[in-house]
Amino acid sequence: DAGITQSPRHKVTETGTPVTLRCHQTENHRYMYWYRQDPGHGLRLIHYSYGVKDTDKGEVSDGYSVSRSKTEDFLLTLESATSSQTSVYFCAISEVIAGDDEQFFGPGTRLTVL
Amino acid sequence: ELKVEQNPLFLSMQEGKNYTIYCNYSTTSDRLYWYRQDPGKSLESLFVLLSNGAVKQEGRLMASLDTKARLSTLHITAAVHDLSATYFCAVLVSTGNQFYFGTGTSLTVIP
């Protein structure tokens, strides 16, 4: 499982409240990613990081911010949650195996915004 | 805008039958990935295809890549119930090391 954990695993919150999801990895991977998964859309990239304090936007970054103050943790924040952000959120890392990039996923966080 | 399209989106097939899932993508990429996801679970890597003409096989699944046509296929041979899952393809865009996913194919194998 590439040593990836996510917390919380489930969360129910109300519209307008801030929410932070945490992704933690234990193997010093440089690249980390946040995706959301919704029916009919597959996985869509929210933000990614290529090192401590180095982050960039993905295709669905509006309403989300991220921070990476140390290698092992990548935080995703919803500043003011909306019902459209109800989704399953996956964190991932990419790792070079035998010279090739491979991506491995955390267990996911199911977020419900009421 | 980069697009990764899979078809079919839903597939119901009988045990023992063969079928192919298609993945078309709109960008230049020579790295194509296939993943499997069981209901309520995370994604599991199946195949990494790295060059034109690449073919990989694992059990009843075989994946191939045609970079000129920007097409990858996942062929299922003699399906069994345990293959029921959602299958995703993804392409790697080297700029930013970003992965773009297809919408997924939900496969149900009926006894």
Sign of CA dihedral B77, B80, B83, B88: positive
Least confident of A82-91, B53-62, B70-79, B89-98: B89-98
Mean per-residue pLDDT pooled into runs of 10, chain A (114 residues): 88 97 94 94 93 93 97 97 97 84 93 97
Query: Is residue B29 scored above 80 in pLDDT?
Result: no
Distance CA B101, CA B111 (A): 30
C-beta atoms of B97 and A31 within 8 A: yes
Provide, as residue numbers in chain A, all residues whose Cβ is less than 8 Å from the Cβ of B100.
45, 59
What's residue B22's pLDDT?
98
- Return the H-helix or E-strand segment holding B105: strand B105-110
- Total beta-carbon pairs less than 8 A apart between chain A and chain B: 55
Q: In angstroms, what separates the C-alpha of B78 from chain A's closest C-alpha? A: 26
Nearest to B61 by CA among B78, B38, B40: B78
Q: Please, which residues have CB within 8 angstroms of residue B19's CB and are 6 or more apart in sequence?
A: B11, B13, B75, B76, B79
What's residue B98's pLDDT?
86
Confidence of residue B96 (pLDDT cuts 50, 70, 90): low
Distance CA A111, CA B106 (A): 22
What's residue A2's pLDDT?
65
Interface check A62 vs B, CB under 8 A: no
What's residue B1's pLDDT?
74
What's residue A1's pLDDT?
55
Kindly give the residue spans of alpha helices, DSSP state H, lying in chain A: none
Query: A21-38 pLDDT, tens per residue?
Result: 999 999 899 999 999 999
**Of the partner residues B31, B33, B42, the one whose CB lies closest to the CB of residue A90:** B42
Interface check B95 vs A, CB under 8 A: no
Mean pLDDT of chain A: 93
Query: Is residue B42 scored above 70 in pLDDT?
Result: yes
Interface check B98 vs A, CB under 8 A: yes
Beta bridge partners of B47: B34
Cα angle value A72/A73/A74 (rounded, 5°): 130
Q: What is the mean pLDDT of residues B64-73?
A: 93
